[in-house]
Amino acid sequence: MQTHKAETPARASGKDGNFSADDGKPKKEDKTMMTIKVNFKGDSITTRINGTLEEVAKHYFSQPEVESIDILEGGQEYENEYFRRTLIKLYRVGPEEQKEYDLYYNIRAAYKVEYNPQYKDQYNDREESCGFLRIA
């Protein structure tokens, strides 16, 4: 007996759907091919990698000299009738910031929110961030 995985409406329509519907945070478990720029203190490298965001974050942020990871291509997007939200960066929050703002997660996800043309006069495009992962 074969089991078939049903496609969700987001996947069937070609939309990535990698943001969880309930909280707007990026899902950590979806593998995807990405082009990333890893920013070290004073240097950077650009590479293509296939994996989950959690795997990428754990691998690179386990090195203390890594400050951030820019998602150049293949990152996660969520789109609805009002806006498109695109993951643009994972970055490390320093201990001072973590303490000052009482943050549990020291790795954060930043994303760009772009409103559809019919809503541009009511809302401004913006960048937002949310907690993503805690790495000791």
Q: Could you tell me the sign of the dihedral formed by the alpha carbons of 89, 77, 119, 128, in that order?
A: negative
Question: Is residue 74 pLDDT above 80, yes or no?
Answer: yes
pLDDT band at 11 (very low <50, low <70, confident <90, very high): very low
Structure tokens at 86: 């695109």
> pLDDT digits over 25-51, tens only?
555 567 889 999 999 999 999 999 999
Instruction: Name the pTM for this structure.
Output: 0.75
Instruction: Give dist(CA 31, CA 15) in Å, integer.
Output: 15
Q: Tell me the sheet residues that pair with 108.
A: 91, 131
Instruction: Give dist(CA 133, CA 136) in Å, integer.
Output: 10
Question: Is residue 8 pLDDT above 90, yes or no?
Answer: no
Structure tokens at 117: 């043309």
Nearest partner of 38 among 18, 58, 66, 11, judged by Cα: 66
Segment 108-136 mean pLDDT: 94
Structure tokens at 18: 């990698």
